[in-house]
Amino acid sequence: MSKVILITGCSSGLGREASIQLSQRGYRVFASMRNLKDKEAVQEEARQRGASLDYVQLDVNDNVSVERAVQAVISKAGRIDVLINNAGYGLTGALETVTMEEIQEQYDTNVFGVIRCVQAVLPCMRKQRSGTIINISSVIALTGGPLSSIYASSKFAVEGLTESLVEELAPFGIRVCLIEPGLVLTRFSEENKKTGTRLPYSDNPYREMMEEQTRLFSQLKSSPAAQSAEEAVAAYIEAVEDTSFRLRFQTNPRGSALARRRFVNPNQGVSLK
């Protein structure tokens, strides 16, 4: 029986590419998005590439929307074998330049959105005595970074949540892991990034640092460190199909090198037992 996969944030970028590639491999994929009006472009691309997707409305910031989406998948497919928590965005700017409202919104999507979705699928997975939960982190959770303190800390939170769930859910046959993408050439930087507004740009003491980071980022996008979504999604497929209980998957060699610098064994968690 083909695995049933629910992916959040599929209107563009890695979520969109992952949904198509996983469908091409024979999985039944439910591509979820906040606004189903966005499905038309995804549907057309999937058709052209020989993929067949199911679509479901899911806003990770809305408890009711999450519960309805999960129940809709179970009603149609009878089960959920894999949840990929892909939805998210990045808040940039020095800590001094972001408002508390902007910080709360970042955490509501990147952290609480993950928690909502995990809580929603757990009753089904526990009943099945099987399942895989894949949380999308970032290489920035391996290093931190200037002008990214809130985004980085939200991904550090996802890492801590995931590591804690590994042993918590293992008795129920549920596997939990992380994917840590590096720089992927999608529309994320244009569509899924926000800049702090607490200080006006004209009076921003970090403006020079911001301009330098923008320049370096532009250079990085044309370097070997950048990769396409098609390439990066190989890590999604590897995580779905893994049977070794590996904890972390990076999408490129640079991310793997960062992980090796931070951890003795980046592929495994550390038990407190």
**Domains of the chain: which residue ranges?**
4-262
Q: What is the pLDDT of residues 15-30, one digit of tens each?
A: 999 999 999 999 999 9
Q: Residue 195: CB partners within 8 Å, gap ≥ 6?
A: 91, 92, 93
CA-closest candidate to residue 249, choices 264, 268, 235: 235
Q: Band of the pLDDT at 197, cuts 50, 70, 90? A: confident
Strands (E) located in the chain: 4-7, 28-33, 53-57, 82-85, 90-92, 131-136, 174-180, 193-195, 248-250
Describe the chain by its helix, strand, coil percentages, rounded to 5: 55, 15, 30
pTM of the predicted model as reported, rounded to 2 decimal places = 0.93
CATH architecture of 4-262: 3-Layer(aba) Sandwich (3.40)
Got the DSSP string for 109-168? IIIIHHHHHHHHHHHHHHHHT-EEEEEE--THHHH--TT-HHHHHHHHHHHHHHHHHHHH
CA 270, CA 166: separation in Å to the nearest integer?
10
How high is the pLDDT of residue 67? 98
How high is the pLDDT of residue 186? 73
CA-closest candidate to residue 223, choices 180, 169, 185, 166: 185
Pairing state of beta strands 174-180 and 82-85? unpaired
Pairing state of beta strands 82-85 and 53-57? unpaired
Q: What is the pLDDT of residues 38-68, one digit of tens each?
A: 999 999 999 999 999 999 999 999 999 999 9
Kindly provide the b/e burial profile for residues 132-170, where b requires at least 16 CB atoms within 10 angstroms of the residue's own CB: bbbbbbbbbbbeeeebbbbbbbbbbbbbebbbebbeebe
252 token code pair = 């490129």
Enumerate the active-site residues.
11, 137, 151, 155
